[in-house]
């Protein structure tokens, strides 16, 4: 029977040196989403229920299109980081790698489609 000190038991189980950066990134994107979502709700809500032609004309203006694009960019970035943290906490091995790759592809693809749609309307 080997005697292990608390320090010996904890060796190699410490910080991975990335938690602070990840936490900071999540905090920045969540703070950025607060005004963006409010602005998006007001710009989207103002045109909700309008005919197709009015919606197209409305999103051809730079301010609503920019707000929508920024909300999509920051929102999907925040989503990707949050889901990645969840996957890292609850899975391991090859499953973890496959889920992270799949989630990253899904979030970037969804962001690209959302931004493409807004740019297509705006131009």
3-state secondary structure 36-73: HHHHHHHHHHHHCCCCHHHHHHHHCCHHHHHHHHHHHH
Residue 19 has pLDDT above 90, yes or no: no
Residue 49, Ramachandran bin (φ over 0: left; ψ between -120 and 50: alpha; else beta) = left
pLDDT at 4 over 90: no
- φ/ψ region of 19 (left if φ > 0, alpha if ψ in -120 to 50, else beta) reads alpha
- Exposure of 15 by Cβ count < 10 A (0-12 exposed, 13-18 middle, 19+ buried)? exposed
**Residue 18 pLDDT greater than 80, yes or no:** no
| Average pLDDT of the residues in 99-111 | 96
pLDDT at 8: 66
- Note the pLDDT of residue 59: 95
As a whole-number percent, the residues of the chain with pLDDT over 90 amount to: 77
Domains of the chain, CATH where assigned: 23-122 (1.20.1300)
Q: Each residue of 54-80: pLDDT tens digit?
A: 999 999 999 999 999 999 999 999 999
């Amino acid at each position: 029977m080997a005697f292990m000190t608390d320090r010996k038991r904890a060796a190699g189980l410490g910080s991975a040196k990335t938690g602070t950066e990840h936490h900071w990134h999540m905090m920045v994107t969540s703070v950025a989403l607060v005004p963006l979502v409010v602005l998006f709700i007001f710009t989207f809500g103002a045109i909700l229920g309008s005919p197709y032609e009015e919606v197209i004309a409305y999103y051809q203006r730079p301010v609503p299109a920019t707000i929508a694009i920024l909300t999509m960019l920051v929102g999907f970035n925040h989503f990707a980081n949050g889901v990645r943290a969840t996957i890292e906490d609850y899975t391991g091995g090859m499953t973890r790698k496959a889920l992270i790759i799949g989630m990253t592809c899904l979030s970037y693809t969804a962001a690209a489609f959302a931004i493409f749609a807004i740019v297509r309307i705006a131009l």
